[in-house]
Structure formats: structure tokens, C-alpha cells
Amino acid sequence: VAREQIMHDLEKRVSQQSVEVERANALRQKVSQEKAQLEIHMASVSAELQEANRRVLMLQKEKEQQSEQHE
């Protein structure tokens, strides 16, 4: 009887741990997907920032040229 109880308890623990592993794997997959989406978003924002910086430099050059012409 004790052996059967031990086997039953072990099977129950294995089952619980299997569920925990499945949950952990699902969470890991979700986090990986979110990370990939954030990396894509970050690349997009970085490209926008580079374009904005390029426009600022261009406008600064135009302003300098106009200032030189009015002197």
C-alpha cells in the first residue's frame, strides 16, 4: 500500500511539473514574440529618428546659408 501511495504521489508530482513546464514554455514563447516585435518597433523608431536628424541638419544648413546671404 505504501509503495502504491508513493507511486501515486510521484505520478502526481510529474503531472504537476509537466503542467508547469508547459506554462513556462508558453510564457517563454510569448516573451520571445514580444521581444521580436519590440526589436522591429525599435528599428522603425531608430530609422525615423535618423531621418529627423537628417532633416534638422539640412534645415540648419539652409538657415546658415540664408544668414550668410543676408549679411
The pTM (predicted TM-score) of the whole model is 0.66
Instruction: Identify the pLDDT of residue 70.
Output: 82
- Dmax over CA atoms of the chain, in Å, equals 103
Q: What is the mean pLDDT of each run of 10 residues along the chain (71 residues)?
A: 96 99 99 99 99 98 92 77
Instruction: Identify the pLDDT of residue 1.
Output: 86
The DSSP code sequence of 13-68 is HHHHHHHHHHHHHHHHHHHHHHHHHHHHHHHHHHHHHHHHHHHHHHHHHHHHHHHH
> Residues 26, 27, 31, 32: is their CA dihedral positive or negative?
negative
